[in-house]
Amino acid sequence: MSFLLAERFREVVAVDLSAESIALASRRARHYGVSNLRFLEADAERLEMFRAGEFDVVFAFSTLRFCPHPDQALAEAFRVIAPGGRAVVDVPNRRSPGTDRSSG
């Protein structure tokens, strides 16, 4: 999703816990010449590297279901959103494509 967002926004900062995922995404961005997209290793529940109100929009695609404390991740998302900004969050359910339907 980060690459799609980079086509529509002046700057995109994407975070992930996985250093391997960050390295792969960064290589892809360089390969495709996407210069308005940067990737940082970070925990969605602790975004202390960002100032309060630093972003106009926060997107969380299929993130909260992997957070041990989703309420903390949401609190951090709202902390880094500027006044009047927006949060876009998706939470897959059992009918979402790609989810494991055998467990529910």
In a domain, 104, yes or no: no
Instruction: pLDDT tens for the chain, 104 residues: list them.
Output: 999 999 999 999 999 999 999 999 999 999 999 999 999 999 999 999 999 999 999 999 889 989 999 999 999 999 999 999 999 998 877 776 766 545 44
Q: Please report which helix (H) or strand (E) contains residue 13, including its range.
A: strand 12-16
> How many domains does the chain divide into?
2
In a domain, 18, yes or no: yes
In a domain, 98, yes or no: no
In a domain, 103, yes or no: no
- 5 and 34, same structural domain? yes
In a domain, 16, yes or no: yes
Strands (E), 24-101: 37-41, 55-61, 81-90
Domain coverage including residue 62: 48-93
- 37 and 59, same structural domain? no
- 53 and 37, same structural domain? no
- 38 and 3, same structural domain? yes
- The residues, ordered by sequence, that sit 6+ positions from 14 with a Cβ below 8 Å of its Cβ are 2, 25, 37, 38, 39, 40
pLDDT given for residue 99 in this prediction: 60
In a domain, 100, yes or no: no
- 66 and 35, same structural domain? no
- 84 and 64, same structural domain? yes
Please state, in angstroms and rounded to a whole number, the distance separating the CA atoms of residues 38 and 85.
Answer: 20
pLDDT given for residue 76 in this prediction: 97
Q: Please report which helix (H) or strand (E) contains residue 12, including its range.
A: strand 12-16
